[in-house]
């Protein structure tokens, strides 16, 4: 009888201790993942800010072509990744139409889109 009670108590204590440590490990992992997401978002925001600063500096110095080149990269990147023809997503379709309209009047943007599109097609097996 004493052995059964001792075994049951040991089992319950073991389960409790195991749950406690696993729960805290999972919480630490979740915190680390959230931190990585925040840092990744900050990195992307920093890259956009640096690109915008350089574009503004180019505009202020009168070098608008350089500004357009800087700004055409994220436009072309979005276009090649997220706006496939015939999309049913209204926002993507509107963005695609706006980018296509810009590319009709801006050779730098059109060339950057063509370059990124061909690079993506070359990577696709």
Q: How do residues 1-39 score in pLDDT, each as one tens digit?
A: 778 888 888 888 888 888 888 878 888 888 788 777 766
Place of tokens 């139409």: 97
Question: Does this model's pTM top 0.85?
Answer: no
Rounded CA-CA distance 75/62 in Å is: 22
Position 6 scores a pLDDT of 81
Rounded CA-CA distance 24/9 in Å is: 23
Residues in the chain: 125
Rounded CA-CA distance 81/78 in Å is: 5
Domain ranges of the chain: 1-62, 63-125
pLDDT in tens, 82-99: 877 776 778 888 888 999
Residue 69 CB: number of other CB atoms within 10 A?
Answer: 17
How big is the CA angle at 45 (ends 33 and 61), to the nearest 5 degrees? Answer: 165
For 71, residues 6+ apart whose C-beta sits below 8 A from its C-beta are 51, 55
């Amino acid at each position: 009888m004493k052995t059964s009670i001792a075994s049951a108590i040991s089992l319950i204590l073991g389960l409790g201790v195991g749950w406690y440590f696993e729960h805290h490990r999972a919480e630490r992992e979740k915190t680390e993942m959230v931190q990585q997401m925040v840092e990744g978002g900050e990195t992307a925001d920093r890259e956009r800010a640096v690109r915008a600063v350089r574009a503004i500096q180019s505009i202020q110095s009168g070098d608008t072509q350089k500004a357009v080149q800087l700004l055409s990269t994220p436009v072309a990147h979005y276009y090649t990744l997220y706006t496939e023809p015939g999309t049913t997503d209204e926002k993507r379709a509107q963005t695609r139409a706006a980018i296509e309209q810009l590319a009709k009047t801006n050779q730098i943007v059109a060339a950057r889109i063509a370059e990124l599109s061909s690079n993506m097609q070359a990577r696709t097996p």
